[in-house]
Structure 1
């Protein structure tokens, strides 16, 4: 089975100049945690709900006056519609990510595929569970020294 068979086509996108607040509002309204970021018609990055919290809100930054381009991830892993789902799953696992932009032969964004797509649309719950386990590898929280001594 290929990514083209299970991807979400024509995803909503943000522009690199959109404010973080506007991107967060779009994500809320669309009920998504991932938004591809475009510069015109070119895919240049992505933003997750976690990016917004960690890179802006937690630091008290002014999300109404900061652009998506200031916090987006630019080191993108992408797949094509012809990519086998097992290969996409491996990319997710190796990079600890849950979503991948799907591009055509010209590099144009045409879709997004998520770990959930692999699980639900292929009914391969065992494989999705294994990937989720790898993607969700726990990290040690950073704690203040006084809390660690307790």
Structure 2
């Protein structure tokens, strides 16, 4: 199955100059835990509810802290025509639950989550991905242990 068949197409973006308050409000409105960050027409990062909690609130930063100060700027992504089994394996390796989806012109066209894949084709690959993601470390590790 292709990513384009299971991804969410309606994606809202935030600018790096906006505040984490803006990001949190947007997450609440969308019932989402992640928002892509754009600068102009480029995807420059991702901000998660965990980034806000651990990189901002836990360190005593205020609600007016800029998204740029707490976002993850190394963006991992997949393509809309990628196979979901391969994407699930990749998500396990890089330890993320969601990925932005790009077209071959490298334009954002959606977001795919393990939940999206589980609802569509379930199966072994999603379970294996969750097991891989659940290992300590990864890109969004807050302690610096990215092993």
Following TM superposition, where does structure 1 have runs of at least 4 consecutive aligned residues deviating by more than 2 angstroms? Answer: none
For the residue of structure 2 that corresponds to 1:75, the secondary structure is: coil
Q: Any idea what the Cα deviations from partners look like across 1:26-78, whole Å, max 9, x if unmatched?
A: 101111001101112211100111111110000110122x2111111111111
Question: Structure 1 regions of 5+ residues with no counterpart?
Answer: 143-150
Match of residue 106 from structure 2: 107
- Give runs of aligned pairs for residues 68-79 of structure 1, distance below 5 A: 68-79=67-78
Output the TM-score relative to the length of structure 2. Answer: 0.88
Quick one: distance in 1 between partners of 2:12 and 2:121?
Answer: 23
Equivalent-residue separation in structure 2 for 1:20 and 1:39 (angstroms): 16
User: CA contact under 8 A between 2:15 and 2:67: conserved in structure 1?
Assistant: yes
Give the alignment's TM-score, normalised by structure 1. 0.86
Establish whether residue 120 from structure 1 lines up as the match of residue 123 from structure 2. no
TM-superposed deviation, 1:138? 4.8
Q: Residue 36 of structure 1 aligns to a residue in which SS?
A: strand
Root-mean-square deviation (Å): 1.5
- For 1:30, the equivalent position in structure 2 comes to 30
